[in-house]
Amino acid sequence: MMIGITGTPGTGKTSIAAELERRGHRVVHLTDTVRPYIIEEDRCRETMVVDVDRWVEEFTPVDGIVEGHLAHLLPCDRVVVLRCRPDVLAARLSPRNYPSAKVAENVEAEALDVILIETLEGHPDEHVFELDTTGLSADECADRIERFIRGELPPSYGSIDWTCYLEPGR
């Protein structure tokens, strides 16, 4: 079974995946798989542009967890979408020395549910679990993800609404 853990940068994917790996789960970090698919560098946004269609087509499914902000584009059996309150997300991204425009772009994407919407467009509702990481440790998040994988927590999404963070002054 291939489980995807996805979310906007800064929502906790890497930390939670490290905890799941520590617990014995096989984890594939998507950053380790996309290098051959980079087609250009977007210097303005300080990011690499990936040929996502080719990457998805050539990705070899794994029995385990795939972690990365593109994981929801893969044919996963279940997908966990990590979420984080936008003001907390901005605070998490600031130490990464991202330009302010890149931080703002990611915060806006989180407030607009971009990853969740993309996930629901590609996966059946019953395969999706949305998890607010804002006030939880990596250990607590890993516990919930394992419960979802085992079927002890039902699929869920749509209860998180960050749209108030789109208002000026927030």
Q: Which domains does the chain carry?
A: 2-166 (3.40.50.300)
pLDDT at 165 (0 to 100) = 86
Cα–Cα distance between 57 and 75 in angstroms, integer? 10
Instruction: From first to last of the 170 residues of the chain, give the pLDDT tens digit.
Output: 999 999 999 999 999 999 999 999 999 999 899 888 988 887 777 777 889 999 999 999 999 999 999 999 999 999 999 999 999 999 999 898 888 888 999 999 999 999 999 999 999 999 999 999 999 999 999 999 999 999 999 999 999 999 998 866 55
Q: Whole-structure pTM over 0.75, yes or no?
A: yes
pLDDT at 170 (0 to 100) = 54
Which two structure tokens, joined as six digits, stand for 145?
A: 């993800």
Cα torsion 12, 44, 52, 24 to 10°: value is: -20
